[in-house]
Chain A
């Protein structure tokens, strides 16, 4: 049974954080075909032109409480992360110039990860702690070609940072017995990308959307590599230097639909395919010519999302959703730096119309992960030995979020 599980379990999401709108998240993070708010700037800019008001603004922030536990039955070793709450946020504005043309601006954080294991834990030769951040800033145009079809899109400016610490090996210490480790740090890494979408409205009740966000390779050049607790010997030739590394933020294709059952009920379905296959290896090239190769072997992964919205009263709208998130991580590549495995998301939320212009949007997601026996089999130690690192992992994540929608 354990083997069957191990074979089918994969790591969901990598370092993708699907929290780009409280309304959408409450509905299982569907939205490529839901015309609801300026959240469309992220989900499908083609839909902005259908927003009723001249100016629509949606902004919000979530708190990601995500923890991972690890244990190894044969040694009795255990470890738990002590992650600070992540705070993905978004800001979307849409301004309608005329019936056929809208302009927008979106700022969002679709990729990021903060994982803090106990220092010197059993997997510390792979990671002690890591913090990834990427902020997307995107001007948008949305244009209605005909009554039944619109398109939209815009360039993306990304600014990101990474900070990663791990021990150099399972045993190397200085004379005091303190573990030798390295921190790599790079910030202000800037790149460009784009996204584009189309929205079809074949009947009054049905919308069909498609959206594509391009791959962006973050090039960290000249970052700082800081070596600590290195023994004073030519046998351990490590000193502070700089490094170059690449981290891909993969492309994502979404297709989906929404159907208005009646005035109160709306159903939505999204399918995401994230092109994780680009993340083959994390290679860190130090200025002294040493290259640290860390095979990742990700494969493209799918997410199926389902959502429903119920307009209870003039003031109150309720939402619920579910999604199934497949993993890009393949068996034998389960590295504890991105410890979020195959998951199901259960989401809910509401909007409260405080005035006719202002609504409060709240959402809540509980992400359920199966307990999984997994290993990372591509660590090569200082003697050239391939040393797998495995054990049982269990993760949980809770994501409460608050936002506002403002219409003018």
Chain B
């Protein structure tokens, strides 16, 4: 009797230990292969896009959904790997403090707020910023990405120095986790003896120029980056020199396998595709009024030129470009351009390809004649005089000319700016592609991915990812950086390329499990 009870007890214990086992368990070594790649110590280099930056800042859950972190989790299913570490910020609010005071320009994350009329729009989260740059983390960190970094800045000693930061010469994100004040990003990466790396750099070398509306300078031809301003385009040779030095440093450090990500075409970003250049919506009456106004501008300017002894015919030829006609419905905006001999007033209508930035004052566009003309009652009065064949005074004529309210340079990318951006991007991508080939590294065509998302979208089990602002799924609320779903898409793209390059079988993730934008009224 006692024996039986003992047996039953033993049996019961046996059962507790018994677990269901698959014939081919995916969580055991051998389920997938790393091929010729060694993922055991993966180090990621890059900028904000690699850090997991989203919604205008770096916050905790964004970092957790960074593509390097997603990759590391998938690599760990293939091979025994070191723990993947990231320089995590303190909270989900985003923004940065320096010694308790908010760093200017480093605000909280954008969330989708909803007002009483149920209109949804991005706004800054109201939570407190608690990440202080002076709280220096001790690494090393596998994710070495530093938001805001340009290609050559990864090589710059002192880029993480608190002292230099206070002089505006360093990057607060690198100050947070640099191993010493004088180190460089690449030095800290190399010191980790990486076995595998990803490099996605160069975006800021052209993107900051684009996002500034082209207010910077295209520095092509200028070989000294210390001369560059923040919003300038890096010379392609300077980029190539920095980039090849980064790649060879990583390879020499032991990361013989890796993936290089190229630069997406800036014009595919929601930041430039959300406010259309023809959003000047007019009624027939408004169109006629505006056409009349610009005819008056042309007329006044003809008079002015003739007053300057310009022959009548020539004066009319020059001034006629300002007699812009508007029609009922959608019209392209008026944009300010540099004043030249052929365009002495310095404005014109936007062309089809030209772009407006997401951050443009849309209320001004809709209500204050921004992008066309700000016609005050005084201007109306002058127009009335003209209509009756009267002769306005010089002062009154000037009033009419001054009412032209073209879009500022900072709010638009004009054709020559787009050309500069495109030329630099193409040159950078050629360098990236050549270095990938020369070193047997995987080349991840993010440029192609971004254009596919933009043109047709990428289907997944919960719909289609598109580049539409806020709802498309790729872009976070800053219109430039990706959502977790967008970063998961990048991770999958890397995995597919790495698998093909190194005969590996790293499993991809289901991007449907990664969120997009965060609604919140907090």
By a beta-carbon cutoff of 8 Å, the part of chain A in contact with chain B is 63, 65, 67-69, 71-78, 80, 85, 122, 170-173, 175-177, 231-236, 350, 352, 354, 360, 362, 364, 369, 371, 381, 383, 385, 387-388, 392, 394-396, 398, 400, 402
Contact = CB atoms under 8 A, between A and B. Distances in A.
The 4 closest A-B pairs by CB, nearest first: A177-B61, A398-B15, A171-B515, A76-B507
B520 A231 contact: yes
Nearest to B461: A387
Contacts of A383: 462-463
Given A381-B462, A394-B20, A78 B27 contact: yes
Nearest to A388: B461
B120 A176 contact: no
A75 B508 CA distance: 5
A56 to B, nearest CB: 21
Nearest to B28: A78
Contacts of A398: 14-15, 18
Given A122-B513, A233-B112, A385-B463, 16 more contacts: A65-B12, A69-B19, A69-B20, A78-B25, A80-B20, A170-B462, A173-B518, A175-B127, A232-B521, A232-B522, A233-B114, A362-B8, A395-B20, A400-B11, A400-B12, A402-B8
B438 interface: no
Nearest to A234: B114
Nearest to A382: B462
B344 to A, nearest CB: 51
A80 B60 CA distance: 27
A176 B74 contact: no
5 contacts: A71-B25, A75-B508, A360-B4, A385-B462, A385-B463
Contact of B8 (A65, A77, A388, A400): A400
B191 interface: no
A71 B127 CA distance: 38
B16 interface: yes
Among A75, A170, A175, the one with the most B-chain Cβ atoms within 10 Å of its Cβ is A175
Contacts of A172: 515
Contacts of B513: 122, 170-171
B304 interface: no
Contacts of B22: 69, 71, 371, 392, 394
B518 A362 contact: no
B128 to A, nearest CB: 12
B21 A394 contact: yes
Interface in B145-188: none
Contacts of A171: 485, 512-516
B426 interface: no
A171 B515 CA distance: 5
A122 B31 CA distance: 19
Contacts of A232: 520-522
B12 A63 contact: yes
A190 B516 CA distance: 44
Given A68-B20, A233-B521, A395-B20, A350 B4 contact: yes
Nearest to B484: A171
Given A175-B111, A175-B520, A354-B1, A78 B26 contact: yes
Contacts of B111: 175
A36 to B, nearest CB: 19
A80 B19 contact: yes
B125 A175 contact: yes
A171 to B, nearest CB: 4
A197 B186 CA distance: 81
B352 interface: no
Contacts of B15: 65, 398, 400
Nearest to A171: B515
- Measured as residues with beta carbon below 8 angstroms from the partner, the interface class of chain B is 35 or more
Interface string B105-128: 000000111100010100001010
Nearest to B113: A233
A352 B77 CA distance: 51
Contacts of A233: 112-114, 519-521
A366 B482 CA distance: 50
A361 to B, nearest CB: 11
A367 B27 CA distance: 24
Contacts of A387: 461-462, 512
A392 B515 CA distance: 25
A371 B521 contact: no
Contacts of A71: 22, 25-27
A342 to B, nearest CB: 14
Contacts of A385: 461-463
- Most A Cβ at <10 Å: residue of B24, B27, B114: B27
B92 A176 contact: yes
A200 B32 CA distance: 60
A360 B275 CA distance: 81
B514 A175 contact: no
B382 interface: no
Contacts of B485: 171
A358 to B, nearest CB: 11
Given A177-B92, A233-B520, A392-B22, A364 B112 contact: no
B507 A74 contact: yes
A122 B24 CA distance: 19
A80 B520 CA distance: 33
A396 B20 CA distance: 5
A173 B61 contact: yes
Contact of B120 (A235, A352, A371): A235
Contacts of A235: 112, 114, 120, 519
A173 B515 contact: yes
Nearest to B22: A394
A234 B522 contact: no
B337 interface: no
Contact of B510 (A75, A350, A400, A402): A75
A137 B4 CA distance: 31
B23 interface: yes
A58 B508 CA distance: 55
Contacts of A69: 19-22
A349 to B, nearest CB: 10
A396 B26 CA distance: 18
B19 A396 contact: yes
B268 interface: no
Contacts of A354: 1
Contact of A175 (B24, B92, B120): B92
B64 interface: yes
A383 B471 CA distance: 11
Interface string B486-522: 0000000000000000000001111011111011111
A154 B513 CA distance: 51
A67 B20 contact: yes
Contacts of A395: 20
Nearest to A389: B461
Nearest to B120: A235
A395 B508 CA distance: 26
Nearest to A339: B20
A360 B1 contact: yes
Nearest to B114: A234
Nearest to A65: B15
B16 to A, nearest CB: 6
Contacts of B61: 173, 176-177
A234 B462 contact: no
Given A76-B31, A400-B11, A175 B522 contact: yes
